Amino acid sequence: MASLTKKRDCKNWIACFTLPDGTRTNRSTGTRNRKLAKQLATEYEQASQLAKQGQLNEVRARKVVSDILEKVGEAPLDTTTVESFLHEWVESKDNEGTKDRYRLVVEKFLESLGKKSKALISNITYRDVQRFIKSRQEVGLASKTVLVDAKALNTAFALAKRLGHTQHNPVDKALAAKPLKAKSSEKETFSPEQVSTLLNAAEGEWRTVIMLGYFTGARLEDCAKMLWDNVNFDRKIIDFVASKSSVRAVIPMTDQLEAHLDSIASTDDPNPHLCPTLCQKVSGGKTGLSRGFKEIMVKAGIDPQEVQGQGTKMFSKLSFHSLRHSFNSLLANEGIDQETRMKLVGQKSKAINTDYTHLDMPKLEDAMSKLPALKLN
């Protein structure tokens, strides 16, 4: 138990406490105030006991020293961990969409750090960031998505540096050592907020097509030509053969998609298509499906981001196909494995068995439950 004593040649109180090996020792408290000295002596004792139990890690040790320095009027040591700082940084955001996006990035980054997520933020290195970037690439995320994730972390660490929690920004160094570049011909992805905006700007059959694109990852013509025979309300699935790959896709319906399809179902309409008008259109051309979707984007205030493609051809980085990329990226963000994602979008691969059994469905249903819901007017 800690106690206090005084020496003739010392004006400050002396703390007496037990070291981890059981021996008693004395340390100056640096103060003449007996009440404060007693508190400091108790903290010395508690730190010693933590060390004896093997629980005095760097963060705890700095906290003890910091408290002591602060009590004697000195500048305290920084004890900010990467986990606590990043969580506070996320919660400081006003926009809920931004907060959700950053929260996901932070959780994936902390997951990649493992036990080091409890370390001081100043201990994070550029190699930790590079491992995180590599893990994002390995789950199949587009280069643009990985770059956006890295930039989000870069913003957080830049703030930590400005606040004095760390002397360096490890993300800066990681990106400088191995720059991330999105391909000029690579499609961008829509955020759930953008898809909600698109839906609220769309009318009639286009709302159905966009919801199918977001909740199934199907291509534009597959969505427009979807049959009621492909919709099984009893099993809550969309079951169709992707036109491009000729691969069967079985996709559990989310509650939001099921509710929408149920609202447009008609018992007295003999038309086999969900979208009787749009199913007659082709994808290209001035009056085609792609042009129709682009007009909805413009109406919603979303820039298609046209860039120079191969030769003289212009390339839109945002198009209906971006919904397919969004579907894949959002599920990858939630840790859904590549095999499951490929099955859901009807993508062909020699390495992946695309035959469906009843054993697959719980896994597919769990994957679809991770897809963010849309905010509709």
Asked if residue 153 belongs to a domain, the reply is yes
Asked if residue 343 belongs to a domain, the reply is yes
Tokens of 365: 């249903």
Residues 255 and 343 placed together within one structural domain of the fold: yes
Query: Per-residue confidence at 343, pLDDT binned at 50, 70, 90?
Result: confident
- Best-predicted range by mean pLDDT among 13-17, 84-88, 358-362? 84-88
- Lowest-pLDDT range of 32-41, 273-282, 312-321: 312-321
Residues 244 and 168 placed together within one structural domain of the fold: no
Asked if residue 186 belongs to a domain, the reply is no
Residue owning tokens 């994957």: 367
| Domain boundary, last residue among 177, 209, 228 | 177
Query: Per-residue confidence at 351, pLDDT binned at 50, 70, 90?
Result: very low
**For the residues 256-272, what does the mean pLDDT come to?**
85
- CA 308 to CA 314: how far, in whole Å? 5
Asked if residue 374 belongs to a domain, the reply is no
Domain of 126, CATH number, reads 1.10.150.130
- Lowest-pLDDT range of 103-112, 214-223, 308-317: 308-317
Q: What angle in degrees, to the nearest 10, is found between the helix axes of 192-201 and 321-333?
A: 150
Cβ–Cβ < 8 Å for 2, 42: yes
- The total of structural domains in the chain comes to 3
Which pLDDT does position 309 carry in this prediction? 52
Residues 337 and 228 placed together within one structural domain of the fold: yes
Percentage of the residues of the chain whose pLDDT score is greater than 70: 81
- CA 131 to CA 128: how far, in whole Å? 5
Domain of 210, CATH number, reads 1.10.443.10
Residues 101 and 39 placed together within one structural domain of the fold: no
Residues 148 and 21 placed together within one structural domain of the fold: no
Which pLDDT does position 76 carry in this prediction? 46
Asked if residue 76 belongs to a domain, the reply is no
Residues 356 and 335 placed together within one structural domain of the fold: yes
Give whole-number Cα distances, 318 to 170, 189, 243, 323, 331, in Å: 31, 7, 22, 9, 19
- Global pTM? 0.56
Query: Per-residue confidence at 204, pLDDT binned at 50, 70, 90?
Result: very high
Asked if residue 114 belongs to a domain, the reply is yes
Collapsed DSSP state (helix, strand, coil) of residue 251:
strand
Asked if residue 120 belongs to a domain, the reply is yes
Who has greater pLDDT, 280 or 165? 280
| Domain boundary, last residue among 71, 98, 127 | 71
Q: Report pLDDT digits (tens) over 182-193.
A: 555 567 888 899
Asked if residue 77 belongs to a domain, the reply is no
Which pLDDT does position 18 carry in this prediction? 76
Q: Please list, in sequence order, all residues whose beta carbon lies within 8 angstroms of the beta carbon of residue 295, skipping any fewer than 6 positions away.
A: none
Residues 143 and 203 placed together within one structural domain of the fold: no
Residues 197 and 248 placed together within one structural domain of the fold: yes
- Lowest-pLDDT range of 47-56, 110-119, 139-148, 286-295: 47-56
Q: Report pLDDT digits (tens) over 42-71.
A: 877 777 677 667 665 555 555 565 565 555
Q: Using the 8-state DSSP alphabet, how is residue 243 labeled?
A: T
Which pLDDT does position 356 carry in this prediction? 47
Question: Domain range spanning residue 151?
Answer: 82-177
Residues 114 and 134 placed together within one structural domain of the fold: yes
Determine the straight-line distance between the first and last CA of the chain, rounded to whole angstroms.
65
Residues 138 and 278 placed together within one structural domain of the fold: no
Which pLDDT does position 52 carry in this prediction? 67
Q: Report pLDDT digits (tens) over 167-181.
A: 889 998 888 877 666
| Domain boundary, last residue among 71, 91, 110 | 71
Residues 242 and 355 placed together within one structural domain of the fold: yes
Query: Per-residue confidence at 345, pLDDT binned at 50, 70, 90?
Result: confident
Residues 272 and 159 placed together within one structural domain of the fold: no
The whole-chain average pLDDT of the chain stands at: 81
